[in-house]
Structure 1
């Protein structure tokens, strides 16, 4: 199950959990109030998963792209990692589906505070258009990232 919490203000290693002390957990309901939707899917069978097929059909996602986030597979790896962690937003929804490994997606709440969403294999989130967010690998540094956007963009990323 996905876990989320408010982040501390530390500028140290972006891959660390950065939990407030004491921890201030964020529920799925709180995420939904921001427009962030969570699903758990069968990452081992993503190519034939009927739930994923239904999501793609219902949202009219028509193609996918695969990105591998590993030093030996992603050109300009260090630069890309920095770019992923830069705060940004999109004009369309963005969907991230973790096929293997783990990582963090950070989103800003209505008060501009960062919420860290810890995701692992099988976790899928939809980030609504216009929400500020960023991505980083966690301390495990292994992630397959599957992305769907509102315009039919499906991106599978492997870290």
Structure 2
């Protein structure tokens, strides 16, 4: 279930908002300049590669690419298929995105499968958007944020959209604010 949480940045123990209503989530995020949509989902084979994922969502990818002038589209996938080094791979990926950062481009993701949480630190407020299959989220260029895929079962597949060919480039703030807020697993558990 997609969820939106809101806290004062200095009071992570006190929720200002918690909702699972898509219209309410979209309206709240719209005030921040954040695009949120829910797309119809497609069934994919367990071994679907980037080409298969992009083919399944070709119409939606073409539409949003034309609307937003995206020049690069790819697929990021973290999935436990029994590989012996999965825990280490997942830990390293989580640590990279868990630190607060900004981008010189919008960060646009469509969740094909799995889940993850985007945290937006805007002025003195922190918003957490728990995204799941079917959710599209666009974090505007320059927005301070971080991403948590969780520890318990870190699995997701997301289509990523970029305005240039560099792909994901983060400018880290050095702040450790993410440690003060509930993580992805805690939010999923309703804590």
Instruction: Flag whether TM exceeds 0.5 (same fold).
Output: yes
User: What's the counterpart of residue 150 of structure 1?
Assistant: 163
**Does 1:137 pair with 2:137?**
no
Gaps in structure 2 of 5+ consecutive residues: 20-24, 44-53, 169-191
CA distance in 2, matches of 1:66, 1:144: 7
User: What's the counterpart of residue 117 of structure 1?
Assistant: 129
The answer to whether the 8 Å contact 2:76/2:160 transfers is no
User: What's the counterpart of residue 22 of structure 2?
Assistant: none
Match of 1:69 among 61, 74, 78: 78
**Does 1:43 pair with 2:21?**
no
Q: What do the CA deviations read for 1:58-90 (whole angstroms, capped 9, x no partner)?
A: 222233233322464878432221011110000
Moved more, 125-134 or 143-152: 143-152
TM score, norm. by length of structure 2 = 0.63
Displacement over 4 Å in runs of 4+: 20-23, 73-76, 152-155
Once the two structures are TM-superposed, the CA of residue 7 in structure 1 deviates from its matched residue by 4.6
The answer to whether the 8 Å contact 1:61/1:151 transfers is yes
- Cα gap change, 1:148 to 1:154, in 2 (>3 Å): farther
- Cα gap change, 1:152 to 1:33, in 2 (>3 Å): farther
User: What's the counterpart of residue 17 of structure 2?
Assistant: 24
- When Rg is computed on C-alpha atoms for both structures, the one with the higher figure is 2
Gaps in structure 1 of 5+ consecutive residues: 10-17
TM-align CA RMSD = 3.0
CA distance in 2, matches of 1:136, 1:32: 22
Structure number having the greater helix percentage:
2
Structure number having the greater strand percentage:
1
User: What's the counterpart of residue 79 of structure 1?
Assistant: 92
User: What's the counterpart of residue 5 of structure 2?
Assistant: 5
CA distance in 1, matches of 2:35, 2:103: 16
Once the two structures are TM-superposed, the CA of residue 48 in structure 1 deviates from its matched residue by 4.4
SS at match of 1:47: helix
Moved more, 143-152 or 77-86: 143-152
